[in-house]
Every structure is written in C-alpha cells, then in structure tokens.
Structure 1
Amino acid sequence: MQNIKSKIDWQSWLQRWDAQQTGYIPHREARFQAMLDAIELQMPAEFVALDLACGPGAISQRLLKRFPKARCVAVDIDPVLLAIGQGALGDANGRLRWVEADLMADNWMEAIAQTQVDAVLTTTALHWLPPHRLLQVYKQLAQLIRLGGVFLNGDIMPFPFHLGTFRQISKTLSARQEKQAFQERGVEDWNSWWQALAQEPELKELLQERDRRFGERYTDYEPILDLHEAGLRDAGFREVGVIWQIFDDRVLLAVR
C-alpha cells in the first residue's frame, strides 16, 4: 500500500466511495452520528478504538475528527480499500494505524497487535460473515474490549421471519430509495465505482490481489437482529440493544 504514490487522487476516490455508499444507505451520516454520540457519552477524552472491517476508513475519519485525543486501529482484508484509506487519511499524525487481517481467520486479532481496546465500531460490514463466524467474532471481541467498553454495529439487520410485513416494508422502501438514488439522481453505484477504479493503472496489482482474496466469497448473509443480540449476550456483553433505527437500518450497542 505504501508504495503506491501519488498520481492517484485518493481523496477523490474516498469521496466517491462515500457518495455511492449513501445511495444504498440514505441515512448513513445519521447512523454515524448516533454511533459517535454514544461514544462521546461513554468514553473518556483519550481512548483507543478499533474500526472493524474498516474499508477505506469512513469510521476512522469521522471518529478522529470528532475526538482529537482518540487513537484508532483500522482493520480490513480488502487491499484496495485499505490503500485508498491510507492514501487519503494517512496515519492522522500517529493516531491511526492500518492493519490487513481477515475476520474469517481465527487468528485475526493477532494482526492488530492490541491486547485491549475501549471501543469497537463497524458499519455495513458484518453481514458478509456467515452466522457461525459472526458469533465467533463476537466472542473474540468480548475478549478484546475492556470491561465497560462498547461495541457498536451499524448495519441492515432484518426483522425476524415471523414479521413478514415488517420485512417486506423494509425491502420495498430500500428498493425505492436505491431507484431514486441511482436511476433518478444519477448517483454512482457499487459496480460503476469499481469499474471506474479499475481504470487506475497503478492499482492493477492490488485489484488482482483483491480478486484473488475474495474469489467467490461475496455472499450477503444478513443475519436477523435476533441473532446479533443473542450472539453478543452469549459472548458476555452485559447490555445489548438498538440505540438508533430507521426500519431495518440500525445501530446496535453492546456494553462489555
């Protein structure tokens, strides 16, 4: 990542990433705001956070801006998104550290070289994990987060299957919002963003490495809310509940 220099406009790619993500998640900034509000009310001025499955560092960027004495470790398996984040955000004057690690591997916590953190935050990411792996990650996080620390997950967490009307309303609304964003307002979508990024010749090797790592890995499991809550309680978090919600877009807070 460090060797890719500077013909690439990293800031522009990060901004385009945020824009296309907002096409899928129209209340994305409100979700971030809710998560950071919870952090402000629970954390001291100086704390260490883990940006889990960080992508290009959307959480890290906002967290370090709001909390000038905080430090953050940003971890992901995607070499391209990590390169964009590192290129755009750097190390934030020593307050931000980037780590490549795979949440599907049992030893991913070894890579972050952090025995304890005060908070773990993640958004729009853990639905890619199969349920058995998600539950294992929650158990690992319970070991990593100090007593009194917090875990915050902002994501689509569907209603349980017996609430069929709730599920249908949420899916219909989401489809309508995506149509408005991508067809009516012309927002760049996921596929178009990646196709455009592939035109950067300096990223060719990283894109190939990304394809090698992911292969057929893209399966959207979308565990229901009940599984997240039960898994966190079983892992040892003493308080678990939703603190922000618009239909099935939620922020789940767990207190260690």
Structure 2
Amino acid sequence: MTDARTITTGTTGATATTAATGTDWAAWQRSWDRQQEWYMPDREERFRVMIDMVEAVVGAEPRVLDLACGTGTVTARLLARLPGATSTGVDLDPALLAIAEGTFEGDDRVTFVTADLKDPEWATALPYDSYDAVLTATALHWLHSEPLAALYGSVAELVRDGGVFMNADHMIDETTPRINAAERALRHARMEQSKAGGALDWAQWWRLAGEDPVLAGPTARRFEIYGEHADGDTPSGTWHVRQLLESGFGEARAVWASPSDALVLALK
C-alpha cells in the first residue's frame, strides 16, 4: 500500500505533520473519542445510522468525502463497516489532520486534503469531481448560517446524481425552550459526574496535545487559525433540510435525532 497523502490549499498553507514519528496515533484516536463522547454519549449510534444509510443508498464500495474530517472518525467507522470504500478527508486543522494521517498511514484507500471550507475554491483541491457520499459529523456548527448555506451549495455540486449527503451535528429547535432546558440540565449534570471520574473536556484535551512533542507545533498553528473555539450557529434540523433542498437535493430529512442533535440526510 502507498502512504496516506496530504494536499495543501487555502490561505494558511498549513499542513499536517508527517506520520513517521513513532507516535501512538491509536492512543490519540481513543483519547479524542473519549473526549467527544463526554459531550455526546450517543455518538456511536449516530455513526451507525450514518454508515447504514451510506450502504443502503450507494452500496458497500462508495467513494466518500469526509467533510471537516478531524481525526478521521467518520472514515474509521466507514472502512471498518465497508472495507471496499474509499475516503477523501478534508479539514483545515493541522493537529487533527496529523492524527488522521498517522492513523491511516499506508492505507491507499484514504487521501487527506488541507483546505478552508469557507474558501469558495476549496473543492478545487479534491482528487475527484464527484462522490457517492459526502459525510460530516459534529463539525459544521463552527460555521455561521450564511457560509454554511453556501457550503451546502458546493456540496450539492460534488454529490453525484443518486448520491447522498449526511450531516450529524448540534441542531437546536428554538421553538421548544423548556424541553431544551430540561435536556441540557440533565446532560450537563451527567457530564459533571463523568468529569469527576476523570473524563477530559475540550480544553484539557487540547492542553495535552499542546504538550506532546509531535503535536505541539500543529496545535499552536491550529489555535492561530481558530482561536479557542469558533462561534458558529446551531440552527434546527428543519433549517438544514430547507437549505439542502434549496441547494439542489431532491429529498432531505432527519434520519436520526436526539433532543439536541440530529442526523440529516439529503439525496441528490
């Protein structure tokens, strides 16, 4: 197999570090998963439904774009379930891309692209003009509604006819404030219990990454790009469905939901 590749584009010129470092990338993946699960205990369930629907709509050997791929979480679940799939992961975060590259080193099913999704030309760096499926999870809430709607237009052009797009993310229905408040209070109480048991939160995880000899540089660049945390929007699932239909998809609806999150599927 050939090495996983990195292609660089966008305004920063940032690229992930090389994978040949001896770093325990699997341990960093597990650490990232645990940190994310602290916020989203149903995280694996949404991935299961996502990959189920990929197989149902486009089969067992799809060409996939892992949008805002981070450490390659979606790609890992995809290839574990559908080993005949191929994946292009695209992100701007040099630290998370370093972990992704290290994890998939030597797997010629996987390609990585460094690009800013807010750059109108981001898709020109991709190795393919079209994909069977475009998948993203817990990432696009970093964008405000206007650039997110523009991104959906770009995504619609990348998904082939009959292909699928799915976004699993925080999607808050502001018409039910009391329901939202009750769910949030219980969720945060449970998070505090887990914290007492040693769970890492977002800030603690990044502090550890910044202290790692290999990830320190990419982590510093990551904070130069994003700051502490991007301040995006979390519109409702209904908003996402409407935007996707307006972007050119033929059908769209939620195929999984919790009180605070949803997985929206759009069919081209």
TM range (shorter): over 0.9
Alignment of 1:230 onto 2:230: no
Match of 2:257, SS state, is strand
- How far did 1:169 drift? 2.7
* TM-score, with structure 2 as normaliser: 0.89
Q: 2:128 matched to which residue of 1?
A: 114
Equivalent residue in structure 1 for 2:215, among 191, 199, 203:
203
Q: Mapping of 1:123-138 within 5 angstroms?
A: 123-138=137-152
Alignment of 1:27 onto 2:27: no
CA distance in 1, matches of 2:19, 2:49: 35
CA distance in 2, matches of 1:177, 1:34: 24
CA distance in 2, matches of 1:67, 1:5: 27
Q: 2:163 matched to which residue of 1?
A: 149
Q: 2:75 matched to which residue of 1?
A: 60
- How far did 1:234 drift? 0.5
Alignment of 1:79 onto 2:94: yes
Q: 1:180 matched to which residue of 2?
A: 193
CA distance in 1, matches of 2:149, 2:123: 15
Structure 1: state its 5+ residue gaps: none
Q: Judging changes above 3 Å, is the alpha-carbon distance between structure 1 residues 156 and 177 closer, same or farther for their aligned structure 2 residues?
A: farther
The answer as to whether partners of 2:19 and 2:101 remain within 8 angstroms in 1 is no
Q: CA RMSD in A?
A: 1.6
The answer as to whether partners of 1:49 and 1:120 remain within 8 angstroms in 2 is yes
Match of 2:48, SS state, is helix
Q: 1:171 matched to which residue of 2?
A: 184
- How far did 1:186 drift? 2.0
Match for 2:47: what amino acid?
F
CA distance in 2, matches of 1:163, 1:37: 30
Q: 2:263 matched to which residue of 1?
A: 251
CA distance in 2, matches of 1:215, 1:76: 16
Alpha-carbon displacement from aligned partner over 1:17-75 (angstroms, at most 9, x marks no partner): 00110000000011100101111111123220011001000000110111111100011
For these two proteins, the number of residue pairs brought into alignment is: 253
Alignment of 1:103 onto 2:117: yes
Structure 2: state its 5+ residue gaps: 1-15
* TM-score, with structure 1 as normaliser: 0.93
CA distance in 2, matches of 1:202, 1:187: 23
Deviates more, 1:245-254 or 1:27-36: 245-254
Match for 1:236: what amino acid?
G
CA distance in 2, matches of 1:128, 1:144: 21
Q: 2:13 matched to which residue of 1?
A: none
CA distance in 2, matches of 1:30, 1:203: 29
Match for 1:179: what amino acid?
E
Match of 1:198, SS state, is helix
The answer as to whether partners of 2:18 and 2:102 remain within 8 angstroms in 1 is no
Match of 1:201, SS state, is coil
Match for 1:3: what amino acid?
T
Runs (4+) of structure 1 exceeding 6 A deviation are none
